[in-house]
Structure 1
């Protein structure tokens, strides 16, 4: 899965002025143009899956440092020469440089999404496009990354715009910071040394150092506690931009370096960048301390270039091929990600490495065209260069056009709605006939109600057109969350402890505890209805991606040992021992893979299940372990939105969706501990297929969790299973 912070989202190009580098007092820095080539190649090859470039996402850090260097130098030059910052000219230049190409690619990507993606996914992607056009897409991604139930959605073709958002926010705040410092300095120097005092960089260096220190502290903390916010937000990334600014304000010191020292520093910086690209990876907590490698490396390369040593790394970076790649770096960055995402859809197959490299070259060609037809003509157009107001109007116009284009495409890609015949709701009723004297009435109730559900599943297995009365509607499914996911009963990644979450008859002497991860919580609507009918006190105790099994667990979301899960497990077990509920219901996802540190249905999993059941039985509680729901193998609402006339296209074959051998092994492990196991497969599958629509119920809200409506429809069966487990003997 894509842990919350998935690595394929990393990279972006920075500003690229072709004028005199007035900060250093020298002509245009060709080595920086070559440094951009290093950065964009790292990002593009990383996204293309080139072996060995596991840390290519560090290219974004290179761009941030470069932008901080160039923009801070530009602003300082204005302050030093005129005592002010020409805001209109500054923002006009940024608008000419970044917005036309960015908006052209954004509109092209939006059109591609509307034409190629399933309707439901296309609408979500177009929302990403609007956020990206307004340069707040990074915060949309940060919010998305903290939503556990949205963590496994496919990557957006606009994900790479996140860093443009960071830089645009930097462009808004940085001039204000420089202006504020200049105002304070001007007031102090007039009082002390007169109005014509030569400006000093020291106050600006101090302010930038403070900004860098505070931002780096935020980055370290959020990398551990809020990884998506650490990765996508300006507060956690500002230190990288500030690092470039510190170099720009200390150029005169870098220029004093002896040639040998400067050359050594430059080569060492490049070595740090290469090491980061080769040694970092998806499991590296990022940015955190790991980002120091590319940031310090870039600082050394830029700083060493200020001294321009004859044998320095700048000579290699200034070679014509490197400069050529650097010139197209911005447009190449913009094009490469949507091309890589759309290519498998267009070609109708997954891409191998050769295909991906081919797409990299296609995006490079598009970048060259964009540079020649959009970037340079707009950037160097005399009417725009001579008028800041025209440049600003241009920027506003292309941004508005991009937003409007995405809105028009949203209207043209309406909310997908089933247009098949209305289907009858799934209803399960208690048996009216008394069980035979030789049978247990509780077994008979479970058998009878299971048969009712099986009949509905069999009737729906061949469903073609999605019912017009589908519940919930496809567009509403992603938000179809049980209350326990939002009221604190289900603890998020970093939360421990468990508030009392009681429902049903809260005064009842019969307590049922529903415990586990999100797959326990998705059954809460069924158990809540059962608790009200049976007059139980239901306690729901859940934590995301945290089964109660005693297994060493690594969190891909946090990128480290999941210590919060271990602590929560201990607290819950202590609570169960103290409260001694009559029944403990265990449920957990079976989608844990190697990224979590163990395999489902393996020996450690089964042994841990037996130990846990035995331990819970020792408290005097009955134990019911719920078997897994089938894996639908797709994000069901999205899949159905593309197959409104053939729901079977989204309904996986039973052998693919269910591991029958694993279920049988779990049943044996549960029995060995003295518990009862509920194999739920027959509630969802025929012998051949597991339909994703039963009656008029949409079974899954995403790619693995039940909808609230379907869980409630199955409540009578769940009640019967729990009632049977509660029975003595």
Structure 2
């Protein structure tokens, strides 16, 4: 997200940065009317490729060479101070306020962010960039910064080589690279989890390279017929038409393109980058055009100047700070402005107000700071005692392995019953308790659980724009249940899931909000269909009530047993539907959960000194064992009757 320019200051480019960061923030805040706000990152990538390559070409033209050390030092002064400040704040927030899965889960995130390989870490650890559930990394947004830094490290080296080979190589190599990157994105895209295609350097470098091509065409080809025509009156007229058309196209993309849309991954990303490049060229070529003047307005310029800080801070603020969107935006702006005026700008100019000394001393302090933060992230993972320790205890690995939802966890001795646990991530978090239960009773145990896949067969979503995996869950619902029964022949299927926050999307793509009468009818019919399917499969069904939600740890920093909340209206409504279904289907056993998790009609996070659910919904391993032991007397008769 470069801000240095190869010639005099161009305010319209700061306006483009403002539009880009604004789109990303609104997207992350979850506004459904801007599903394509994530394309702000695409705009940043194209702009970075354009500006960085322009800097390199200008330096080569002026000096006859490119100083890699000088280039990398400028990048370090520009990017590292604010990044280190943000990482330090996130480290402290994870240490004191984060839900329980954090130190063991966040250690890798911290180190990956520090050393700019966050995108590959996210892919390698099977994190979904598009997930919207408790426990999402507060550093998830660092993937794009990692790609840019990887580009800053490698591209200057390639540029030096290409300039020695000649003008044709300077344009041919980025063009071929952009095409190859586009093909990689198409090849690695999978609808169930597009993260590999979205965050992989090889798939996303196409946008940086399209920015490179723009810089090469406008600078390296100066003096050619093409450059002469573009600088002519006809070129200015073309820029005047291109600017508004490209601006409207970018806005249309942001208003319509969905992050799970196959269009984006099958060429749409390349098209967006080309349109953005056309917009950049238009405002550069015609700085007095209406679009350029609009982007040069003082408020947009001011936002653009602090856009790097806004991007750094917005996602941690969204993750850690409860409240209305405007409060989060205001805090993000305050943090970004403070970082810019007290840290970033002074250090970039070599006159830091806080860190005294020469620029050389400041540069020498950077690796020391990196090492210090890395040590802090690693050493702090070992800290935790007593009840406080339990908040950090979560399952760090998928029980069935990465990408698998069905597996046999405990083999059944000959002639003994098999219990299957079926549901979503709530069911998955109960795995440690059911492993112990199966061993105690010599039962077989099969886990059939996948994040975000509830029991209804509906396209469940917290917004009118469902994630691709939610659509897939709905389509595969009946087939998943048949696969479980065909492969493992369970005696009893224990089903549990959470639907508290989610409405659902109809076949006509209209949205039904949670809690409405139509929502209740849809949940009833969906659960009834699940019960019929399970009954036809020949297994006895034990249907657990939806577990009422407890407060999250970050809202209970004291970790006291008095931190509790009553069951929500959505939980009560859903569990009334469960009771109605049991009356309609007496062959189904309803397993109560509210009396276990909500003694005295209030749901605490800590019960009997145990942190039962680190984020208010998902069970810690200790909490899972505690909870399943209390379910045990209710499950034994169901298994015995089967």
TM-score range, shorter chain: 0.7 to 0.9
List per-residue Cα deviations over 1:213-271 (Å, max 9, x = no partner): 23223334447354344444433321111110011121243652322222111222222
Q: 1:205 aligns with which of 171, 174, 179?
A: 171
The CA RMSD over aligned residues, in Å, is 4.4
Map of 1:23 onto structure 2 = none
Q: 1:371 to 1:526 in 2, by over 3 A?
A: closer
Matched residue of 1:659: which SS? Answer: helix
Unaligned runs of 5+ in 2: 507-511
Map of 1:611 onto structure 2 = 529
Residues 1:242 and 2:209 aligned together: yes
Q: 1:643 aligns with which of 540, 558, 563?
A: 558
CA contact 1:61–1:240 (8 Å) conserved in 2: yes
Q: 1:212 to 1:396 in 2, by over 3 A?
A: farther
How much has 1:688 moved relative to structure 2? Answer: 2.7
List per-residue Cα deviations over 1:186-207 (Å, max 9, x = no partner): xxxxxxxxxxxxx32x223222
List per-residue Cα deviations over 1:571-608 (Å, max 9, x = no partner): 53155268654333322233460267675882222223
Q: Distance in 2 between matches of 1:394 and 1:508?
A: 71
Q: Distance in 2 between matches of 1:208 and 1:480?
A: 40
CA contact 1:37–1:323 (8 Å) conserved in 2: yes
Which one has the largest radius of gyration? Answer: 1
Q: 2:499 aligns with which of 576, 590, 595?
A: 590
Map of 1:260 onto structure 2 = 237
List per-residue Cα deviations over 1:649-694 (Å, max 9, x = no partner): 2x222x3388345324313313423222112222222233233333
| TM-score normalised by L of structure 2 | 0.79
Q: Distance in 1 between matches of 2:94 and 2:476?
A: 45
Q: 1:255 to 1:587 in 2, by over 3 A?
A: farther
Q: 1:400 to 1:217 in 2, by over 3 A?
A: farther
How much has 1:399 moved relative to structure 2? Answer: 4.5
Unaligned runs of 5+ in 1: 1-12, 21-26, 186-198, 382-389, 419-465
Map of 2:67 onto structure 1 = 86
Q: 1:697 to 1:14 in 2, by over 3 A?
A: same
Q: Distance in 2 between matches of 1:281 and 1:246?
A: 27
Map of 1:724 onto structure 2 = 637
Map of 1:16 onto structure 2 = 4
Q: 1:539 aligns with which of 433, 446, 455?
A: 446
How much has 1:639 moved relative to structure 2? Answer: 5.0
Map of 2:395 onto structure 1 = 479
Alignment of 1:359-370 (within 5 A): 359=331, 362-363=334-335, 365-366=337-338, 369-370=341-342
Q: 1:508 to 1:541 in 2, by over 3 A?
A: farther
Q: Distance in 2 between matches of 1:537 and 1:121?
A: 29
Q: 2:184 aligns with which of 215, 218, 222?
A: 218
CA contact 1:631–1:658 (8 Å) conserved in 2: no
How much has 1:480 moved relative to structure 2? Answer: 6.5
How much has 1:115 moved relative to structure 2? Answer: 9.5
Q: Distance in 2 between matches of 1:699 and 1:544?
A: 19
Count of paired positions: 613
CA contact 1:96–1:379 (8 Å) conserved in 2: no
Q: 1:16 to 1:352 in 2, by over 3 A?
A: same
CA contact 1:131–1:140 (8 Å) conserved in 2: yes
Residues 1:401 and 2:369 aligned together: yes
Worse-superposed segment, 403-412 or 205-214: 403-412
Q: Distance in 2 between matches of 1:77 and 1:148?
A: 37
Q: 2:423 aligns with which of 508, 516, 520?
A: 516
Q: Distance in 2 between matches of 1:358 and 1:610?
A: 46
Map of 2:412 onto structure 1 = 505
